[in-house]
Amino acid sequence: MSTGKDNPPQLTPEEYFVWESQQLEKYEYIDGQVHGITGSSVNHGRIAVRLITLFVNHLEGSGCDTGNSDLRVNICGTNNYTHPDISVTCDDRDKTTTQYITYPCLIVEVLSAGTEAFDRGSKFRMYRKNPALIDYLLVSSTGIQIDLYHKDEAGNWLIISYQEGDTIALKSINLSFPIEQVYRGLNLTPEA
């Protein structure tokens, strides 16, 4: 996340929705401030598309919906809005809103050098306030590495680190898949 290039004024949530719809890029809205979303790599885009396709195919007919980075997520109990790379909601309350969802059970962020610290730190602290969130998946775009933050039945967050040869298990949507399915054919080199 970075500050918007034109330093937009502090906005209300309603003003943010209108303002962002007039922009060429996406912006997140945190504590009344608008922040531009940094660009992504080819690997970032390909990984996101593969995961979205996997989730959509798995969830067909389930009543759950998968969103890409165009879909805003309202941080539960706040007026903050983010654009995660992928979100899945199975909550009927999200079927009545048109500007955002509030109750995703799964959020995925594909990491880049510019966003990794925020995605692991402040953003996760915001996301975990959501009682519906079960899985928060952080996916490397430069190596075969995926970290899963999973909320267990007692409400504790566990971190599971996956690497080459592992099978990812997302209890939020009852899906398991080999990690290689995400990375096949990608040129995994560190970002410049």
- pLDDT, mean of residues 23-46: 86
* Bridge partner list, 35: 3, 28
Nearest CA among 93, 91, 92 for reference residue 104: 91
For residues 177-190, give the mean pLDDT: 91
Start-end of H helices in 12-121:
13-21, 42-59, 116-120
Q: Could you give the CA distance from residue 17 to residue 189 in angstroms, rounded to a whole number?
A: 36
| Cβ neighbours, 10 Å, residue 67 | 22
Sheet of 73-74: strands edge to edge?
2-3, 33-36, 27-30, 81-82, 73-74
Calpha distance 29→3 (Å, rounded): 10
Distance CA 95, CA 46 (A): 28
102: β partners: none
CA trace torsion 28, 39, 120, 69 (10° rounding): 60
pLDDT given at position 3:
39
Domain ranges for the chain: 1-37, 41-183
pLDDT digits (tens, 9 = 90+) for 98-110: 999 999 999 999 9
pTM, full prediction: 0.91
Cα–Cα nearest to 111, from 80, 134, 130, 85: 85
Q: pLDDT at position 190, please?
A: 65
Superfamily of domain 41-183, CATH level 4? tt1808, chain A (3.90.1570.10)
**pLDDT 10s digits, 132-149:** 999 999 999 999 999 999
pLDDT, tens digit, for every residue of 56-106? 999 999 999 999 999 999 999 999 999 999 999 999 999 999 999 999 999
